[in-house]
Chain A
Amino acid sequence: MVVRFSFLNNFRWRRMADRRGPRRLIVADIGDAEVRVIVAERKAGETFFSLPSIIPHHGASTVFENPDFLSAVEKLIGATPYISVVVGGSDTMIRLMVLPGAPGTPAHVSHRVRQTLGVSDDYDVVHQVLDQTSDQHTVLTAAMPKAMVDDLDDALTKRGFTPVSLIHTGTALANLSLLGGETFDRDGNTAILHTDIMSSTLSVRVNKQNVLIRQLKQGLRPVFTSITESYGLDEEMAVKLFNSGSFDISNQTVAAMSSWFHQIEMSLDFVARRMGGRVEKLFLSGSSLGLNVLRENFSSALGCPVDIIPPLPHLSCPSLPGRLAEGQNPVTPYLIAASEGARIMRLSGGDK
């Protein structure tokens, strides 16, 4: 039986926070097939990243039942109890919306955002007004099922962590676009597509501003399904075949990705019409699964340069794991987690 004394809740043998925020923070980017974990540390006003690890798992809802994940994060709790989680998925939403009129009170904005998203009270909705005029206001909003928000909080609290932030993958992607703005803007108007198994997230940057952040229902699942059905393989073998790039399976993958391509084209066209600027380069980020293969497919389908997101000087990581796919940019999988770590550290005085 564990007896807890409330006055000891704030007791730390080593204090990993000051009055401005955490000095050390674990960030877990929970994807559909893997969790990417990194530790952000604030030292003398600068942010450093270390201890990156990728833990395979299946399904965001069961991540805290995955012994590999639990073992990995429980090792890290010795480094710091503070943890941030980045999570997306098909039952979550991210939207950059322009609403008519002045925003009014936060409650009023929240009500209008809920109406626009069409979510029930079972969802937690957060929003931030980015820009406003007398005629309209721009709001970035994200929604997650209440149960998911509470379950993640409970699971972490039970294991002795102090939850710091839970943000949507799309929010982290938008923050990544802001952080790496100078790097991306060298190529003009750019977009970042964060890929995952069940869904993907698109962030478009035009004229040095984020103008679209959207979650797409399409991901890598149809590709793996197509390979599985075409070659009679199980899913694990299909993923390996896709990642290796050793076989020409473009017929199956391109066909399976057509809906995905179409959604992205529609989004880019929308931006071009509304903002008057076409996207000149698409960057791919996210899962460690076959980004090189995706790059080729997207490049030929969209007719614009496609590249894997480059390492950002702000988010360099001194120690890197060795279990990445061949040709994979070793920093790429952690950029989403690193962008959230950098955001929290900036709020608490880290310069990067």
Chain B
Amino acid sequence: MTGYNLNFWEEPDWSREGTLNPFFTLFAIAAVLTVLGLGWVNAGQRQLQKKVEALEMLSMENKALIKQAEEASSLKIQVAKWREAVDVYDELALKNYVWSSQLETIQSLVPDAIVIKNLYLYTTRAGDTMDSTNTYPLPAWTALLTLEGVATGPTPYQTINDFFDSLQGHEFLSRIMVANLASTAIAEGEDKRFKIDLSYTLR
């Protein structure tokens, strides 16, 4: 017997009092999920921030590299300009090349038995050559000096050969004409005509 139950008030819903309010439970779950979500978003943002910072660092390094590349590019352009300028200068220099010492030397070597009839001079571009520091390419020019003449006297062949040898063995000429000296001397009759090509590289 549990006694007389004449209660003027309605007893609380004990199943509700003894458990959590479902709305409170939902609220608590929502709050926990929100906190977890915010934590996740925060962690994501931190990672994103780290990536942004890393990218910023890379960007700064890239900027430095770009600057260096731009400088290098600028230098390259300058070098090209300089090369062009050098080419122009060379051409100008070639135009104004002073042949007097070579011609004077050749003239001093011409024996009495030889009369120089024609003298031709061709200069051509022969690729590039490196500068003295072996860093920058420079244009190389080749000169072809052709002497046409007549040898007189009793031994014209000998005269031509001696003249040829003197040209080839001369210290100054051999220094600038290297081994490109070639002879296509042709001798016929008493006055023997000859043609000597002197090839050398201009520096």
Contact = CB atoms under 8 A, between A and B. Distances in A.
A149 B11 CA distance: 14
Given A18-B14, A348-B14, A126 B7 contact: yes
Nearest to A144: B8
A228 interface: no
B2 A19 contact: no
Contacts of A17: 12, 14, 17-18
A140 B24 contact: no
Contact of A141 (B1, B5, B6): B6
B2 A346 contact: yes
B9 interface: yes
B23 interface: yes
Contact of A19 (B3, B15, B24): B15
Interface in B7-39: 7-9, 11-12, 14-21, 23-24, 26-27
A7 B9 contact: no
Given A128-B4, A140-B4, A9 B21 contact: yes
Contacts of B15: 19
Contacts of B6: 126-128, 140-142, 167-168, 171
A166 interface: yes
Interface centre among A144, A164, A168 (most CB of B within 10 A): A164
A126 B8 contact: yes
Nearest to B2: A346
B151 to A, nearest CB: 128
Interface stretch (A63-71, A172-180, A192-200, A322-330): A172-180
Interface of B: 1-9, 11-12, 14-21, 23-24, 26-27
Given A171-B6, A342-B3, 11 more contacts: A10-B16, A10-B24, A17-B17, A17-B18, A22-B14, A126-B6, A142-B6, A149-B9, A164-B12, A174-B3, A343-B5
The 6 closest A-B pairs by CB, nearest first: A10-B21, A7-B23, A175-B3, A19-B18, A343-B3, A18-B18
